[in-house]
Amino acid sequence: MKKIVYLAAVAALGLAAGCTKEASDIAPETGATFSITVSTPATKTVFDGATYDVVWADDDELGAYIVGGDKAGVYKFTKDSGKDNSFSTTDFTPEEGVEYTYYVLYPYDAEFTVTEGKSNAVVKISASGAQSDLNAADHIATPLYGTATAEGTAAPKIKLNHAASVMKINVANYSGAELAISKVGLLSIDESAVMAGTFSIDFATGELTATEVSNEAAVTLETKTLANEASADFYVAVAPFATTADLSVVVNDDEFEKNGVSYDFNAGSVYKTAVTCGTPEVAVEVAGATSGALTQTLEDENVYANLLSISGEFDIAVQFGGSKYYLCPADAEFQDGEAVKVSLKKTAETHWSLPEAEGEYRLVYNKLDGTLTIYSPENEFNENLVVEFKYQNLNHWIMTKTFTSGNYFIRTGTGWDGWSGKPYAFQTSLADSQLLVWSGQGSTIDVPAAQKFCIKTGVKSDNDFTVTQGPSTDTVDNGKPGNPSTDGTADYGARVLTIVPENAADAPLEMGKWLPFEFAVSNVGWTHDDVAKLANIKIDLRNKRIQFN
């Protein structure tokens, strides 16, 4: 099951270095403890999902590859109990007068080596981590690296940097029942995308070079249950990468897609996104100068609209998943026909204000964009668009049709005769009176493979057509059909009044895109190789464009 979700990359949350407590120099004695002091970024081992604070755990282990003198090699440094940023080892004793370069990597790996400032392939960003519980973040232990030089017994002070980023995924359950969750992650359709894997690192630049890669990064859980109308956070380590490929947030076997957007995941940054399983019950009520409600539109589940008789000051309340919020404008001054950013507040801190004269205002709330648009009666869309169909040229039949809610017809095939089309009820959008929408509500229109199709505006002459021009006789004129307003003739209306591709020429079907069309007397249509399954059709009469989904 695939869904759309808005995926927003959020800037890093203040990655300031933590407080450093320096250790005293220690004389080089056999078996003595040598300490290094590190300053850390704002995410590390015991990861606080609320504040992203650094909390080193006792017994955390760093690997330090030390170059200098005759003791080159990797050494394990262990967190000193009770000392915030101090790590020590008894395996390494520096010598006076020798300059050492310390390459530090967390977590410790016994195979860690460095050649010309670059490590071997020991930096690991797992494609599948384990999260212990809902909202738990203690599994995040993203790789850290840093380097410093110190002479002799001087303790090096090393700033550690992130080699990975973190994706925080909020999952909301509005399925109507408890939701068992066993996996949450991020997936790219580009199989070569580097979202996780094993890497070497350049200590000077932080650049990672992949040796093993995965196009998925996820966490798994021993199945946890998320209550209905509840949400939980999941934390996934992600390699720093940039992509223009389609990404999906994965919850169990469901994919929540976000397409056609570029993403740039930077090391040391925390990103967040949210997905909703199921559909929360949303009610948008208008109260104050009048009462009424905004209704979810057929064309977009994120848009609520209606034409209401209102005036003066009023409030808009949104019931969402059992909670009530108010749409509050940043600027309450009326802006006719302009989308205004709104905030959801627990109380109506500001109110909407309209001109005093009562009238019918169209309100359009887009909960995905967080905007409200109000159209005054003066700025209301023209109702009942009238379209003229011309047959052959101005010397022959011309008919007009007024477009409103009602039946329109899908016709398939390549010839004129032998079809009448199947009726489908289109409705005028609540957000725009010149937008006609058909929604299958779970069913589809199946157009056979290799058959072009178009939208017919009627199948007989009494389907709200008006003859506005033509010969006075109802007989065949110069080989053209007789008067279409007279029964028993060539059934003009059943054949020729169609919505077809632009320029009245066959065109390939593209799903999910606005395609230009014409009102025409024509038998051309949209072409396709496979069975076309149409779940939603939108006809934008004002801009002469159509979208198939």
- Show pLDDT as tens, one digit a residue, over the chain (549 residues): 333 332 332 222 222 222 222 222 222 333 444 555 566 554 444 455 565 555 677 778 889 999 998 888 999 998 888 777 788 888 888 889 999 999 999 989 999 999 999 999 999 988 888 888 888 877 777 788 999 999 988 888 888 888 888 888 888 887 778 889 999 988 888 888 888 899 999 999 999 999 888 988 888 888 888 888 788 888 888 888 877 777 888 888 888 776 555 677 888 777 778 888 877 677 888 887 677 888 888 888 888 888 888 878 888 888 876 678 888 887 666 788 888 888 778 888 888 888 766 788 888 888 777 888 888 887 776 666 777 666 544 446 677 777 788 888 886 544 444 455 678 889 888 888 888 999 887 788 888 888 888 888 876 655 667 777 665 555 554 555 555 555 444 444 445 578 889 888 888 988 888 999 988 777 788 888 888 888 889 998 888 899 998
Are 297 and 291 contacting, i.e. CB atoms less than 8 angstroms apart? no
Task: Indicate if the alpha-carbon torsion angle 189, 192, 197, 200 is positive or negative.
Answer: negative
Task: Identify the three-state secondary structure at position 495.
Answer: helix
Task: Identify the three-state secondary structure at position 334.
Answer: coil
Instruction: Look at residue 475 in the predicted model and tell me its pLDDT.
Output: 53
Instruction: Look at residue 99 in the predicted model and tell me its pLDDT.
Output: 93
Are 61 and 76 contacting, i.e. CB atoms less than 8 angstroms apart? yes
Give dist(CA 45, CA 53) in Å, integer: 10
Are 431 and 305 contacting, i.e. CB atoms less than 8 angstroms apart? yes
Nearest to 396 by CA among 456, 317, 479: 479
Q: Which fold has domain 2-8+165-278?
A: Immunoglobulin-like (2.60.40)
Nearest to 216 by CA among 118, 307, 139, 127: 127
- Domain span(s) for CATH 2.60.40.2630 in the chain: 2-8+165-278
Instruction: Look at residue 310 in the predicted model and tell me its pLDDT.
Output: 83
- Domain span(s) for CATH 2.60.40.2620 in the chain: 34-116+140-162
Backbone angles phi, psi at 209, to 5 degrees: -120, 120
Give dist(CA 221, CA 190) in Å, integer: 25
- Domain span(s) for CATH 2.60.40.3620 in the chain: 282-379
Instruction: Look at residue 141 in the predicted model and tell me its pLDDT.
Output: 73
Please identify, in words, the CATH class of the domain defined by 282-379.
Answer: mainly beta
CATH of domain 34-116+140-162: 2.60.40.2620
Enclosing H/E stretch for 492? helix 492-496
